[in-house]
Amino acid sequence: MHVVITGASRGIGRALARDYEERGARVTATSRSGETGVTLDVTDLAQHRRLAEALAGQPVDLLVCNAGVYLEKEDDIETGYPPEMWEEAFATNVTGVFLTIQALLPHLQAAQAPKVAIISSMMASQSRAPGGSYIYRASKAAALNLGRNLAQDFTSMGIAVGIYHPGWVRTEMGGDEADISEEEASTGLIARFDALSMATTGCFETWDGRAHPF
């Protein structure tokens, strides 16, 4: 099994890469800095092309689009949320997901039962909207919408697409007060990825197996 994981230098991505390696999978991990695995800034089209070339002839059984940013934790509605922050967040959290999938689509098509897992967030939900974190919420909602539409278009190709809330995880992004550890999130997500099939493509689920409200 060949698994490609973006944003694998820390947090959930790093835990997923470690756990898949322990399961005996071949893992291609990427990171923006190149400190872990292959260098990939998901906003850079040229780097996507280089990654695809480096994996030439290698099927990808599971692509985990995990790379993401949460930039506005300290911003307020009166003075915060500058345009540059919107641009960077959407470039990473939405465009970056699309570019990764687009670049590796031939590799997914070469696998027997390929899957794409998009790490979104409970903050993508339109029915649960408590306010705040406008950029992050909007970008993760866009990633959810992207995944849902790709699931439809990929049906004829036999590629299953799932979108996931990884839990509130004790990472640099999630903070020390979060609910679960990286290990718990990784274990739960891997179980979700294992269960993903063409019968459930387009799902939006939590790390522990519950359907999440859209």
The predicted-structure confidence for 6-65, as pLDDT tens digits, reads as follows 999 998 999 999 999 999 999 999 999 888 899 999 999 999 999 999 999 999 999 999
Query: Average of pLDDT values for 167-179?
Result: 64
In whole angstroms, give the CA distance from residue 212 to residue 193. Answer: 15
Task: Judge whether residue 191 has pLDDT over 70.
Answer: yes
Given CA atoms 173, 175, 179, 182 in this order, what sign does their dihedral have? Answer: positive
pLDDT attached to residue 36:
86
Task: Judge whether residue 139 has pLDDT over 70.
Answer: yes
pLDDT attached to residue 207:
92
77 exposed, middle or buried (CB, 10 Å; 0-12, 13-18, 19+)? Answer: exposed
Token representation of residue 18: 């470690």
Task: Judge whether residue 176 has pLDDT over 80.
Answer: no
Domains and CATH numbers, the chain: 59-206 (3.40.50.720)
In whole angstroms, give the CA distance from residue 146 to residue 144. Answer: 5
Better-scored residue on pLDDT, 98 or 172: 98
Task: Judge whether residue 173 has pLDDT over 90.
Answer: no
Task: Judge whether residue 171 has pLDDT over 70.
Answer: no
Q: Which residue has the tokens 């679960």?
A: 180
Query: Average of pLDDT values for 148-165?
Result: 98
Question: Going edge to edge, which strands form the sheet with 204-206?
Answer: 38-39, 26-31, 2-5, 62-65, 115-119, 160-165, 204-206
State the pLDDT confidence band at 181, using cuts at 50, 70 and 90: confident
State the pLDDT confidence band at 213, using cuts at 50, 70 and 90: confident
pLDDT attached to residue 174:
55
Better-scored residue on pLDDT, 179 or 42: 42
Task: Judge whether residue 93 has pLDDT over 60.
Answer: yes
